[in-house]
Structure formats: C-alpha cells, structure tokens
Amino acid sequence: MGTEPRIRVSAILRWKERVLLCRHEKPGREYWLLPGGGVNSGESLVDALHRELAEEIGIDEDLPVEGPVAIVDSIAPVRSFAAKHVVHIIFAGDLGARSLEAVTSHDAAVRGHRLFGVQDLDGVVLHPPIQRFLRRWQPGDPAVYLGALWAP
C-alpha cells in the first residue's frame, strides 16, 4: 500500500487575458505552478486556497473565486523513488484592477511569479501539465476537466 493522496488547491488567476504562475525550483530544473498549496485537516477547500494565495502571492483579502473548474489526478509512476499521489482541485478568479507590483511571496519555495499568455504555455514546464485545458477554458465555463497524469 502507498501513502494516502494529498489534496492541493490552486487557482487560475487571470489578469488581462494572461494567467499568473509561480516559479519553483528543484535541483537542476525550473517548473511553474498555479498559485496554491496543500489543504490542512479540517480546513475547507476555499479557506485553504485563500491561505495559500496569501502565502504565495500576498493576496490576503477574500478574492472571489469560482469552482472548482478542474480536478486533476497526478500519480507518480511505480518506478519513481517515492510514491506520490496528488489530487489537484483548481478554482478560478480574476485579478481585475489589482496591481501586480504588490505581488509578494512569504513562501520560501516560490522563486518568483510571471504572467503568461495562454499561447506562451507550450514551452513551459507546468505542474500539473494543464496547458490544453487552459487554452480552451473560459471563465464561467461549467465543464470540469478530469485527467490522470503521470500514470504508468
């Protein structure tokens, strides 16, 4: 038996037709994530999302979010060093007129932020890799994207 799945909440945060991503680094490689993080026991998904947005990008007011708009299941291959199973629950929000100059991180794992146009995501290492979903998703779209990633 492996470990229990971890639950991670994140948000597609749009600003002028672009999406905000957080840069992370592991030895020798860079990758990008939607802002968000793990859900603590007893914490609602939306409360966890707001806490993580405050930690990762400094937005500590209750940003209106919709969703979940997507659910993605990431499962590490059996041959990997450590078993890993993450259920990504993705919400969406619009940063509206907020100034992104004030975006700051209190999370040591975040190495920076950047706005990406959807067309710019093809060459980006994005976890989970939801570039195709972002290309076709529009705010208010009721469809929920379900995918299994890293499956053997």
What residue segments make up the domains of the chain, in order of their start? 11-70+89-144
pLDDT band per the 50, 70, 90 thresholds, residue 76: confident
Least confident of 25-29, 36-40, 46-50, 65-69: 25-29
Reported pTM: 0.79
How far apart CA 65 and CA 11 sit, in angstroms, is: 8
Sign of CA dihedral 40, 92, 85, 21: negative
> What are the residues facing 93 on neighbouring strands?
13, 65
How far apart CA 137 and CA 6 sit, in angstroms, is: 25
Q: What is the pLDDT of residues 42-73, one digit of tens each?
A: 999 999 999 999 888 887 677 889 889 888 88
In CATH, the number for domain 11-70+89-144 is: 3.90.79.10
